[in-house]
Amino acid sequence: MNGFDDSVLTLLVVLPFAAALALILWPGEGEQLRPMKWFSSGVALATTALVVWILLRFDYTDGAQYQFISKTDWLEQLGIGFDLGVDGIAVAMLALTAIAFPAAILIGWNVDARSKDYLILLNLLVGGVYGTFVSLDLFFLFFFYEIAVLPMYLLISFWGSSTSFPRFTRSKEYSAMKLVLFLVGGSVLIWVSIIAMFVEADLNTFNLVDLQRVGFDESFQKWVFPLLMVGFGLLGGLWPLHTWSPDGHVSAPTSVSMLHAGVLMKLGAFGIIRVGIQTMPEGAEAWAPLLLGMGAVNVIYGSIAAMSQTDLKYVIGYSSVSHMGYVFLGLATLHTLGVTGAVLQMFSHGIMTALMFTLAGAIYQTSHTRDIGILSGLAKVMPVGAFFFAIAGFASLGLPGFSGFVAELLVFLGLFQTYPWVGALAVIGAGITAVYMLRLLAKVYFGETARRWESLPDLKLNETLVAGTLALILLVVGLAPFFLIDVIREGVRHIPVVTG
């Protein structure tokens, strides 16, 4: 590998942070904002270019488990190093982030209040996300994980919206506080596990690759794995620790919702794989049934709860809870088909939800409501929005031709190889998705156009661009999933406990 390959990951992580710093130092507000938005978009697209480079240079056939490795000593006394590297799973997640990040920045153009600070926080958040996906050192992985989570608090509590429902109220401060308390609570469990691993291994290292080779005691694995499973799983919306997620969506501004459901929730599932399953395979085997049970509840409970929601974003939020359930189910199979499906589902759900939130945001921004009882017949005034929402909806209900179908199919196949009854339940869950998605489409976009909506504008240029790109990706991955599956498979192949 040449020099650039060695530094590409470092560059990828540093770039968003450097951009955040540059924005902080950038003087002025007012008329300076437009260049700042252009600058942020440029940075986001630059990270996309780096990820494309990684995708092209990644060794798909019989490559080493971790590639693009770079090692820098940082705190030798404690064995902490700034070690980066990616496997196939991480590359798939980088691809997701590289799409969601520019999309969120572009949608963030619509934010006018203190948009400089908004952009700074988005950059910090994404820097943390990239860092988590590429870290091969547990200390830094945890560090970046926290950085990814914390900006959410400010983003929601400042730029978010509070909503009154007939029986309760969700203020943005409440949602932001709950989200952070939950995630920090999860972090405590993760941090305890990391320290425990450091001590138990007794190698004076936080290096993940070394720790994965240790082969911890079975009894140790059995008490540490559940901590990781819950600590990380919580960020993935694992039932019953999911309630922060729909509330967070309802309160968050559009581009934050896009990153939240699109990328942040994937950090949790990624953590379960990278830190949980890969270092504690026997622990994973022992606890897989619990993960399976909770994932099944996620799928069914989330979709049933989504059926009766009246707020557009709550429907999408609970749909996320339901769809993340397939990720947990796939992981719990510990079968190649299921785990590959789970990772593909992480990608696919990220794109799909980002698309949905883009369109929900477009409605909310112009109509100032998300109440699906009030909205009706919007297809007449926003045909482009309706078209893309239909695509997102059908992708969500698992229509073949979109990426979600391939992902869910692989999860189903994996489940039927291991736990057929849960597999049947999962297929039924996908069936229920059709009910609430078509209900949403029918209520919001179809029917007579109420007079008050006659003058709503269609999608703006930036929204059309983002929606079009995301929809196209759903379609391309759905029809030609082999690009992504090849890279994911390459990562899954190296996890010893995954069979089949």
Write out the residues near other proteins by the rule CB under 8 A. Answer: 168, 178, 181-182, 240, 243-244, 247, 301, 304-305, 307-309, 336-337, 340, 377, 379-380, 394, 397, 399-401, 405-406, 409-410, 412-413, 416-417, 420, 423-424, 427-428, 430-431, 434-435, 438-439, 442, 445-449, 481-482, 485-486, 489, 500
CB of 333 to other proteins, least distance (A): 12
Residue with Cβ nearer other proteins (99 or 485): 485
Residue 482 tokens, joined: 């082999």
Residue with Cβ nearer other proteins (16 or 423): 423
CA distance 171 to 399: 36
CB of 41 to other proteins, least distance (A): 26
CB of 102 to other proteins, least distance (A): 24
Residue with Cβ nearer other proteins (19 or 294): 294
Residue with Cβ nearer other proteins (44 or 437): 437
Q: Residues 446, 377: contact at Cβ < 8 Å?
A: yes
CA distance 314 to 356: 12
Residue with Cβ nearer other proteins (93 or 122): 93
Closest CA to 435 of 286, 265, 302: 302
CB of 499 to other proteins, least distance (A): 9
CB of 189 to other proteins, least distance (A): 15
CB of 450 to other proteins, least distance (A): 12
Residue with Cβ nearer other proteins (219 or 308): 308
CB of 400 to other proteins, least distance (A): 4
Residue with Cβ nearer other proteins (1 or 479): 479
